[in-house]
Amino acid sequence: MLDFIYSLLVAGIKALIEYVSAHVLTCLVPAFFIAGAMTALLPKEQIMRYLGKDVPKYKAYPLSVLAGLLLAVCSCTILPLFAGIKQKGAGTGPALAFLYTAPATNIMAILFTGSVLGWQFAVSRIILSVIFAVLIGIIISAIFQKEDVEEEKNATQAVSREQVQDTKTLPFFQRYRLLLFFVTLVSILIVGTRVAGIARYFGIAVLILIQAVSAILLFTKEEVYAWLSETWFFTKKIFPLLLGGIFIAGVLTALLPQDFLATFMGTNTVSANLIAVLFGVFMYFPTLVEVPMAKMFLGLGMAKGPLLAYLLADPVISLASILVVRKYLGNKRTAVYVGLIIVFTTISGLIYGTIVR
């Protein structure tokens, strides 16, 4: 019994070590700094203008989806960014569409899916993910409309946010400084996740230098302090939950039997697709990693329907991301969000497996 418990602890710790070594410095840290900058430096009016709850759906949702398509990040790295736009006043629906789209349908993930698994999988993945992102956002906004209104009334206005002027009244150079600041931050995230070898560290070092110089020359001490304070706020609020979720996922992975795939997901049934979706939640893989894993699963006997269901669910939700989302949406909205993802991905896998054999 003690040996069994020890093996589970080792599996959890191993998952933590792998995640921290692969993602914290190059993925999560830049994401936390971006989220902090969103909260401290972006005027709330700008977020509300494009993503607020009163913005027409035909404007807010395409912008949310487009922003997600351009970010190749996993379900954990997107969380600080989701928290940032949510805290700045974005409507729940558009914020969730952004949260869903970035890990599910970013450009890198789709191209990689097409090259490894075929373009039939890739096209199905991007179309269904975009549809699901918009539908889930609209449904949750409709169900919890009263909560959204109350949330907006009670939203706290931090002093750091009040100190920032509306960008419409700023001179051109002042507006340009925000653009430079965010482009550099996002570039650090992209280089850290997409560039390999020595070029990654050289590129990050150069971009950090540019970031530091721009912060010193273009922003006041109060603005820089507000940015760093908000970054630390997101870090201490989100990071412990992520670590706990990753540890639990590692333990659950060790509990799965070796012949699990062929036995439970080798046919295109409702139960097989549902298990594939739940399997994707517990077997957390960062974005892009789920693609070669899916290729391996296909070779081990997983049917095509459950495989697509897995691809649609795995990058989007994990135990770690659910714990963090719950902090910002509450129990009810989080339960509906997770439930809709499970239902939509299960049904889509079943239909896909029936059409494609």
CA distances in angstroms from 46 to 27, 54, 93, 228, 244, listed in the order given: 26, 13, 17, 21, 34
Domains of the chain: total: 1
Predicted local distance difference test score (pLDDT) of residue 152: 60
What is the mean pLDDT of each successive set of 10 residues along the chain, which is 357 residues long?
84 80 71 78 66 73 77 68 76 84 72 76 88 91 77 50 45 70 85 81 91 89 90 79 73 72 85 90 67 75 89 83 83 92 94 86
pLDDT of residue 209: 94
Question: Cα–Cα distances in Å, from 48 out to 63, 85, 87, 187, 234?
Answer: 12, 9, 11, 25, 21
Nearest by Cα to 315 from 274, 352, 280: 280
Whether 67 is in a domain gets the answer yes
Is 333 inside a domain boundary?
no
pLDDT at 245: 67
Q: Specify if 166 maps to a domain.
A: yes
Q: Are 114 and 318 in contact (CB under 8 A)?
A: no
In a domain, 146, yes or no: yes
347 is a domain residue: no
Q: Which residues contact 107 (CB under 8 A, 6 or more apart)?
A: 69, 70, 72
User: Which domain does 202 fall in, by range?
Assistant: 2-254
Res 158: pLDDT: 42
**48, part of any domain:** yes
* Distance, CA of 286 to CA of 305 (rounded, Å): 21
Q: Is residue 290 part of a domain?
A: no
